[in-house]
Structure 1
Amino acid sequence: MKFNFLFGRMAMKARVKNNKNILLSVGIITKNEEKNLPNCLEGLKPLLMAIPSELIIVDTGSTDQTKEIARKYTSKVYDFKWINDFSAARNETLKHASGEWYMYLDADEWIEDCRDLIAFFSNKSELACYNSASITIRSFVDEQMTEQNDFYAPRIARRFPDTIFVGRVHEYIKVRYQPRKYINCVARHFGYVSDNGKVLNKSKRNLPLLLESLDDPTTDLPHTYTQIANEYVIHGDIDKAMEYQRKGIDSLESDDIPERCALYHELVRLLCSQEKWDEALQIAQEYFSGKKTIYSTDVDIHLFLAIAWKNKNDPVKEQAELETYFRLRQLAEQKALDTADLLAANLCYTTVGYTNLAYFLYAILMNDTEPVKALENLEKIQGWNKVEPKVYIEMENSCVIAAKAWDWYPNHYDVISNDEEWGLQRREKMIEIWKNYPESRDSMAQALAKLDIQDDPFLLEVRLQQNMPDALETLEETLPTMSVTPYEINLLYYAMKENLDIDPFISRIDADELQDYIAVIDDWENAYQVITDYYQNYPNPPSLRGLRWKCTALEHILLQADVTDEVVQQNFISYVQSMTVLARALYKEPSEEALSIIPHVHRFAIYMGRAEAARRANKMAECVQYMVDAANEYPIMKHLVQAQIEAIRQDMNEALQQEQNRDAERASLYLQIKEKLRVLIEAGDFDNAAQILEQYQKLNPTDEAISYFWQKINNPVKPS
């Protein structure tokens, strides 16, 4: 290496003699990269403008606008026939390079901030101390950039006579020149963002090339086995991936530190993913055996061990591994660990998902014994990546209660309210605490009062519960424009309780969604009385949807009520009246044929309307028959209809009994009158008898005895 270093410097001096102004050559290979290349080149602009440099682009057969875009940034654009060898294309860029230093990027990478790069190349004394440099490649797996992998890539090197790329796929500069500078510079890489099978197609291209390269005696076997295993992971063939990782481990030499770390790291990770816990523990022990240096890879492996011990139900060892993980992670973030492994290993501790998982596991361990510490770990979790939401929500809730951390939910309310997937469930837990733990309300209300979140139904509900100033006015103002979701339906409770006009809100609920929303009523306090009182004040909603809501709400509470209750029967009558109005608005007075094809609930309403008309006409038998027909059409209301029928029949029986009593009273009166007539006639008092008979004839004109009495009065028998 010393010889190469000296020879390289002399060769460089000789070569740079005619290119004194070129300090850095930047090489990029392209093919159909019109989407990515502008970002890549714009990211390089500050660097290229700040130091003496050149940009070299070698295109391997683009059919889009890639080369046209490239020529806007550099005149050094060259064509190269693709020969299924990435290192060959990279070496073509080296062929055209004249800078003392060489740096390479992919077209789908772009640098976030060039300032540290510029500082490095601008500091001649520092530059003289190094022969290579690494930057951080941050590979994203989604376009939202929520999940990423970081690794240190040796992308910068002095140009020596032996500077050459090797590796048909995942190419790299053959000699890793030392000493190396680690530059705090991040290049975002989007080559592995899932895009309609793009990643898999890349892997299908790469895998055969890597397998073929195994026949080349100059191939770096540990490196190649690592890459082959990675490609099999993309293909979903985990067993094959682990097979090549083991082959890679068997091919290691003592100085293959990056590949050793990468191979053991991925093998332990995949064994855990396959729930092969004992094998994972064995391979991890093999990795740590005899190793004195602590690498960044160790951070991840301790997390994998924690997962294994958790699944083997050993919380003591799980906790020990997690605490080691957090301790080493802190050292890694402080750049206090050896990072030679980062030249090959893609570590997990830098990703959101595995970071979440570590905090989540530790929170579960602390849940029962140290709820405050558990909450501290939950607070560090970002999103739901690698976290089971239902477990998180239940654990969060139990820790809040155990720790009496009443301001927890309000302090995290901005995150909760913006979480469309699980925010509602967390708000519901918050409401449960509010309802079930009165001691929580002061702290929660004070914390919530500080929030400046507009149009939030829960915050408005809290204000209404606390009778805060202007809460009712705000509700009345927002009802006409409020979003229609099951949660906003809760606010109808307060609107109905205060007799506000709810029709502007109700009239926007789609009929198909009505039944789902109406179930919210079950959570209302004293819902039956609130709904009953409201529709006594607002018996006739102005819109059909408002009428439908009234019918559905009344039906919902009626089905859960005691049918013998007088108020229930009044509500049922109100329900039937509104259902009849609704049905007739929809169908007028349908014919018997039309009646047979309309929904059962509307047939029920039509029959009940006919029953009411018969009742008003005092056709009680007909009324009862229509009610029987109605009950048969809508059986869920049969018990309430039956109660109405029984009431009608009872009224009919009482009326019949009263009529029978009146008939008996009349018969007795008639007998008394006729006896009076007989006495008067026998006494010869014909004038009084005639007067009484005239009145009696009006009372009971069909009595045959009347003619007999008139004959006696008009033809009296003279005494002998």
Structure 2
Amino acid sequence: MSENKLLLTISFLVSNRIDTIGRLMESLRPLAEGIPSEIIAVDTGSYDGSIEVVEKYADKIVKFDWCGDFSAARNAGLECAEGEWFMYIDDDEYFEDVSGILDFFKSGTYKKYGMAAYEIHNYLGADMAEYSVSFRDGLFRIDNSVKFSGIVHEKVINTKGEKFTLPSFAHHFGYAYKSDEERKAHYTRNITLLKKAVEISPKDVRLMSHLIQEYRANNELEECRKAGEYVLNNLPVKENVNAYGWIVYTMALSAYLSKKDGALKEAGGLLDKYGDIPSIYKAAANFILLKASCENNSAETECAYCRKTIDCIKEFEADEKAGLEYKYMEINGSWVYGRLSVLCEIGVKACCKTGDFLLLGDVLEIAYSPKNLNREDFIDFMKSFLKNNAKYRNVIISKTAALRYDDDLEVLVCRALEKEEFGPALVQPFYDKAAVISVKKNMYNSALLKLAGRNRLNQEVILQEGTREGWDIWIVSSFKELTENELLGLKEGLAGTQYTKNALKKEGFEVTLERYIFIRAMFGTDRECAEMLEEYCACGLHYFRNYYHPNLFAEEDWVNLPSECRFLLWIEKAVEARRGGDTKECINILRKAVNIYPEMGKAVSCYLEDIQNEMNRPQTAADEFNKLGEKVKAEAEKFIAAGQKQAALSILEQLEKLIPGDGGVLRLKEKAEKL
């Protein structure tokens, strides 16, 4: 704790969570050390060793005799607080990163606000695979009127000022039960406390909504229904629209979960009777009914609920205020957008069964919306669906092509990936649109580049719209993910263009690819690496000699040329020395090359290893034949450099008869034919 005036008090209740308390304390350490603060732990009677862990970190430990009232325990910590602000958390939680909270205070942003909220990931298992997202108003400015209220599911009341949303989030394991008995015990405890609270405040809609939720979570579905009907028919629930919407949604969910005869009809009747709830809750309830209708195998009913759900989502999206209002609720935009893929998978199948292709267009549009948090799942579904349902392929592709979002890179990539199984011709238009956005907005999407490489897509649009510098950045940023085959596919896509506006520009793009194809080859054998280095050298120097004035190549050590070009010139001399049998000179030249362009140190090491392997290998007639072949190739390269096309082709055609399929000969022929 700092000796300066305290800015923040951090408080939490200590129960028996020895499994998470250490992670909580370590996650708070940067806050405690970064700003003037104190840590207050309220011990509610723990006995599993948690308090011994806390003692190493806490500034104050408050002993509290547990009385079944969470607010009373929270207020015990609040009463001891000396900070200007108060932050509360639980001992079954810990922060992923508190830098956002630190910045909130260090930057002075806190001075403009009265409270701040952070996100919570509520895990359903210790593996952290499945979770829901909620928000907590976990930080607030302290004054005499602020306190906690509610014996369970407590909340802060009487706060003043605007709310700030922090970028930090906490992991919460309170719902990650180790057994069904532990789960039931948790909900039974909450139900007991809530029933006690309701006896004291029978008209408190918020308490009743929590009780209804606990009944549902504990699978006490009949009690959930009775409590819900009581609230909706007897309390002024509409004054609290969030509680009203939540209760109707929970009752619809309970009716569905009951699996009794007429459950779907009962749940639908609830929505008809209490349909004036906020659109976000109507969307959630209709989504539940959509899933229920799937179990009845009724495509018409599925389409009906799919339409209702989409309409409710659009209504919610049209109201910007609603988005902000429900951001901190359990049913919020993230809840809905996290389920869009499931909604749309059901919708696509139902629309195709019923022939409702008008609805299909709306389903696809919302599926490809940037707000869909699981678009990749939908893409995987569509690939499989189109593959197994060829009769719907044309209508789906035509509906997809008509969608908006043509200026959204992620959407275009998704749509291109979806078409991949049906050949490059279908992928190319989406790739071209996405590639234009990539090069114009400097948005270097590695999935798009990998897609182009896998499908050998034509790179005409890249040559027209892009620059070599941008191409370099795109390749570099995606290099770790690009396979050698994908790099070769990009090279093929460049070679297949009809681009004639600027031949030198095209060569520059090819040089970049050759460089990284070569770098990828370094993960192969030393021989493969050596061959690729020589190919990269030949390709690169052809480009540089066309790009720069010949006089620069006549200067001593080529001092005014870029380092990559000088490196390749030395490599060219090293290759000549090697082919001429002067290994010692070759090695000396390679050392010079590395000093000029250290980035290629590993490449040169591979080349040296290949030389060493060659020296250690017993000489055979085949080796002598290969050496002779290399000398002939060197002569052909000289003819090419001098522009003597026919002379080069003549000796290469003869050599090809002796060593058919040799990659070096084929590449030299290609270069000669371009003269």
Q: TM-score, normalized by length of structure 1?
A: 0.48
Query: Which residue does the alignment assign to 2:219?
Result: 236
8 Å contact from structure 2 (residues 284, 331) kept in 1: no
Q: What residue identity is the alignment partner of 1:365?
A: A
8 Å contact from structure 2 (residues 326, 333) kept in 1: no
Matched, 1:359 2:344: yes
Alpha-carbon separation, structure 1, partners of 2:128 and 2:315: 26
1:67-86 equivalent positions in 2, closer than 5 A: 67-86=51-70
Paired residue total:
397
Q: Which has the larger radius of gyration?
A: 1
Query: Which residue does the alignment assign to 1:284?
Result: 271
Query: Which residue does the alignment assign to 1:145?
Result: 128
Query: Which residue does the alignment assign to 2:163?
Result: 180
8 Å contact from structure 1 (residues 295, 341) kept in 2: no
1:324-347: CA deviations, max 9, x gaps? 255367679xx7634444555445
Matched, 1:268 2:258: no
- What is the CA-CA distance between 1:76 and the residue it aligns to? 1.3
Query: Which residue does the alignment assign to 1:403?
Result: 393
1:549-575: CA deviations, max 9, x gaps? xxxxxxxxxxxxxxxxxxxxxxxxxxx
1:76-155 equivalent positions in 2, closer than 5 A: 76-124=60-108, 126-155=109-138
Q: What residue identity is the alignment partner of 1:114?
A: V
- What is the CA-CA distance between 1:98 and the residue it aligns to? 1.2
Alpha-carbon separation, structure 2, partners of 1:39 and 1:352: 31
316 and 325 in structure 1: CA distance in 2 versus 1, 3 angstrom threshold: same
Query: Which residue does the alignment assign to 1:41?
Result: 25
Q: What residue identity is the alignment partner of 2:268?
A: L
Alpha-carbon separation, structure 2, partners of 1:230 and 1:132: 27
8 Å contact from structure 1 (residues 297, 341) kept in 2: no
8 Å contact from structure 2 (residues 203, 235) kept in 1: no
Q: What residue identity is the alignment partner of 1:87?
A: S
Aligned pair partner of 2:14 in 21, 24, 30: 30
45 and 285 in structure 1: CA distance in 2 versus 1, 3 angstrom threshold: farther
1:649-668 equivalent positions in 2, closer than 5 A: none
1:524-603 equivalent positions in 2, closer than 5 A: none
Q: What residue identity is the alignment partner of 2:39?
A: L
Alpha-carbon separation, structure 2, partners of 1:297 and 1:20: 48
Matched, 1:222 2:205: yes
Deviates more, 1:155-164 or 1:316-325: 316-325
1:293-318: CA deviations, max 9, x gaps? x5643542343454577767346533
RMSD: 4.3
8 Å contact from structure 1 (residues 348, 354) kept in 2: no
Deviates more, 1:275-284 or 1:154-163: 275-284
Query: Which residue does the alignment assign to 2:467?
Result: none
8 Å contact from structure 1 (residues 132, 158) kept in 2: yes
295 and 56 in structure 1: CA distance in 2 versus 1, 3 angstrom threshold: farther
8 Å contact from structure 1 (residues 211, 228) kept in 2: yes
Alpha-carbon separation, structure 1, partners of 2:385 and 2:373: 13
8 Å contact from structure 2 (residues 114, 160) kept in 1: yes
Deviates more, 1:393-402 or 1:143-152: 393-402
Alpha-carbon separation, structure 2, partners of 1:174 and 1:154: 11
Matched, 1:318 2:302: no
- What is the CA-CA distance between 1:29 and the residue it aligns to? 0.2
Other structure's SS at 1:153 match: strand
1:471-514: CA deviations, max 9, x gaps? xxxxxxxxxxxxxxxxxxxxxxxxxxxxxxxxxxxxxxxxxxxx
239 and 343 in structure 1: CA distance in 2 versus 1, 3 angstrom threshold: farther
373 and 253 in structure 1: CA distance in 2 versus 1, 3 angstrom threshold: closer
Alpha-carbon separation, structure 1, partners of 2:419 and 2:390: 8
225 and 350 in structure 1: CA distance in 2 versus 1, 3 angstrom threshold: same
Alpha-carbon separation, structure 2, partners of 1:128 and 1:381: 34
Aligned pair partner of 1:66 in 50, 62, 75: 50
- What is the CA-CA distance between 1:69 and the residue it aligns to? 1.2
- What is the CA-CA distance between 1:130 and the residue it aligns to? 2.7
- What is the CA-CA distance between 1:101 and the residue it aligns to? 1.5
237 and 393 in structure 1: CA distance in 2 versus 1, 3 angstrom threshold: farther
Alpha-carbon separation, structure 2, partners of 1:297 and 1:178: 28
Other structure's SS at 1:367 match: helix
8 Å contact from structure 1 (residues 258, 345) kept in 2: no
Query: Which residue does the alignment assign to 1:167?
Result: 150
- What is the CA-CA distance between 1:28 and the residue it aligns to? 0.2
147 and 329 in structure 1: CA distance in 2 versus 1, 3 angstrom threshold: farther
Alpha-carbon separation, structure 2, partners of 1:220 and 1:76: 38
Query: Which residue does the alignment assign to 1:506?
Result: none
Query: Which residue does the alignment assign to 1:256?
Result: 240
Q: What residue identity is the alignment partner of 2:322?
A: L
Other structure's SS at 2:129 match: coil
- What is the CA-CA distance between 1:164 and the residue it aligns to? 1.9
1:511-526 equivalent positions in 2, closer than 5 A: none
- What is the CA-CA distance between 1:105 and the residue it aligns to? 0.6
Other structure's SS at 1:357 match: helix
Query: Which residue does the alignment assign to 2:141?
Result: 158
Query: Which residue does the alignment assign to 2:284?
Result: 300
- What is the CA-CA distance between 1:247 and the residue it aligns to? 2.9
183 and 331 in structure 1: CA distance in 2 versus 1, 3 angstrom threshold: farther
Q: TM-score, normalized by length of structure 2?
A: 0.50
8 Å contact from structure 1 (residues 112, 187) kept in 2: yes
Q: What residue identity is the alignment partner of 1:155?
A: G
251 and 130 in structure 1: CA distance in 2 versus 1, 3 angstrom threshold: farther
- What is the CA-CA distance between 1:352 and the residue it aligns to? 8.8
8 Å contact from structure 2 (residues 3, 36) kept in 1: no
Deviates more, 1:136-145 or 1:373-382: 373-382
Query: Which residue does the alignment assign to 2:314?
Result: 327
- What is the CA-CA distance between 1:104 and the residue it aligns to? 0.8
Aligned pair partner of 1:53 in 14, 37, 58: 37
1:335-390: CA deviations, max 9, x gaps? 763444455544595289744421222222343556999889889796999x9x9x
Matched residues, percent identical?
19
8 Å contact from structure 1 (residues 58, 92) kept in 2: yes
- What is the CA-CA distance between 1:195 and the residue it aligns to? 1.3
230 and 176 in structure 1: CA distance in 2 versus 1, 3 angstrom threshold: farther
Other structure's SS at 1:138 match: strand
Query: Which residue does the alignment assign to 2:182?
Result: 198
408 and 108 in structure 1: CA distance in 2 versus 1, 3 angstrom threshold: same
8 Å contact from structure 1 (residues 295, 338) kept in 2: no
Segments of 5+ residues of structure 2 without an aligned counterpart are 398-415, 423-450, 458-480, 486-675
Q: What residue identity is the alignment partner of 1:88?
A: A
Other structure's SS at 1:215 match: helix
- What is the CA-CA distance between 1:35 and the residue it aligns to? 0.9
